[in-house]
Amino acid sequence: MRRKSSLVLLALAVFFAALSPLFRWYAFPRLAKIPPSQYQEAVLEAKPATLVDYGTMQSKQVEKLTIVQTLKGNVEESEKIGATADRDVVVWDALSFVAGPDGKMVSTIPERYIFDAHSQDPVHATGESVDGDPVQRRGIEFKWPFLTEKRDYEYYDSRARRTAPIHYRGTQEFRGLEVYYFEQTVPWTKVPYPKQMPMPGIDSTKLEKQTGTSMWYTTKRMFWIDPVTGAPVNGEEIHREEMRGGSLLGGREKVTAFAGHVKMRSDYVDSTVALVKSNRTLILLLTSYLPWGFLGLGLALLALALWLEARGRRAGAEGAGRGPDLGEREGEPLRPAVPSPPLP
């Protein structure tokens, strides 16, 4: 009976030990994916900020500038592109809406971002764009991969339309989470004008060609990333844009179009942290809790099986070591002992 029990326990130990790497290396890449229908909104503010008045082409300081960023999953396009690419793909239609202190639009820049649902690597397909212009991204944008590493990554800058390293600068504590801090500085770079600007009757796509006035941009980008989910729990930018040269400035060399320290609004930071804390548990189940738990259970069952087997062998050895009892000999029936007569 003990031998049967030890064999059953041994089989279970092998089963659970085999489940451990299966969950980490097989189930995790197939189950941990960004849903194609995800919708997310974030509000960022610069207090105070410097803006150009396009009526007078003079810079002025304002109390606040607001940037509303939305990411909306396009399920239909995700399924269409995924079928062609033969993998799970997510299509995000993103919009960055910049509003002045009066709530009026300063600029609007739409994007279509297409990426692998698990690895977050860009997927190049028709429709990938920034402000209506076709692009081919290289590197991450918006989100880091699951199980983010302590290293530099390639990050795509949609304003400059180029990829540059974003550097890992250390581990920090942020609202109860251990996060990785990343930083990127984009040097002054010539960039296109946003196609939607508060300049009635002017085609911004032809503005530089018609006036000779160009737009330049620099920023210091900072992200605090949850290393389990790869999601930013906070983001900031020290952002600056200038208009330079040409007839639009009336002979001046440059005018600040926008300058400010952009930070995520506190209530959106709170909701983002809460969302990340709930999602990270699912990732930890697949990568840590279940694999290590199954491995520990397998080792415990193996130890129990070996203990039962050893106990059974020891009991058998002790039984064999006692030999025949009460005068019994091999091949002879057991006979009752006859008392000896007393000596005289």
Cα–Cα distance between 139 and 132 in angstroms, integer?
20
Q: Are 127 and 110 in contact (CB under 8 A)?
A: no
Q: Which residues of 121-156 are buried (b: 16+ CB within 10 A; e: fewer)?
A: ebbebeebbbbeeebebebbbbbbbbebeeeebebb
pLDDT in tens, 62-95: 999 999 999 999 999 999 999 999 999 999 999 9
Number of residues assigned to the chain:
344
DSSP symbol at 158: T
The distance from CA 105 to its chain's CA centroid, rounded to whole angstroms, is 31
The reported pLDDT for the residue numbered 226 is 97
Q: Structural domain boundaries of the chain?
A: 1-31+282-308, 32-264
Closest to 220 in 3D by CA, of 278, 171, 259, 274: 259
Largest CA distance in the chain: 147
Residue 2's closest CA among 298, 311, 320?
311
Contacts of 269 (CB under 8 A, 6+ apart): 175, 233, 234
pLDDT score, position 70: 96
First-last CA distance in the chain: 55
**Separation of alpha carbons 240 and 220, rounded Å:** 9
Amino acid at residue number 197:
M
What does the alpha-carbon distance between residue 344 and residue 342 come to, in Å, rounded to a whole number?
6
Long-range contacts of 333-337 (CB under 8 A, 24+ apart): none
Name which of 199, 276, 183 is nearest 237 in CA terms.
183
Q: Quick one: pLDDT at residue 325?
A: 52
Query: pLDDT for 224-236, tens place per residue?
Result: 999 999 999 999 9
Residues with pLDDT less than 70, the chain = 1-3, 315-344
Count other C-beta atoms under 10 Å from residue 198's C-beta: 14
Task: Output the pLDDT for position 305.
Answer: 79
The answer, as to whether pTM is greater than 0.75, is: yes
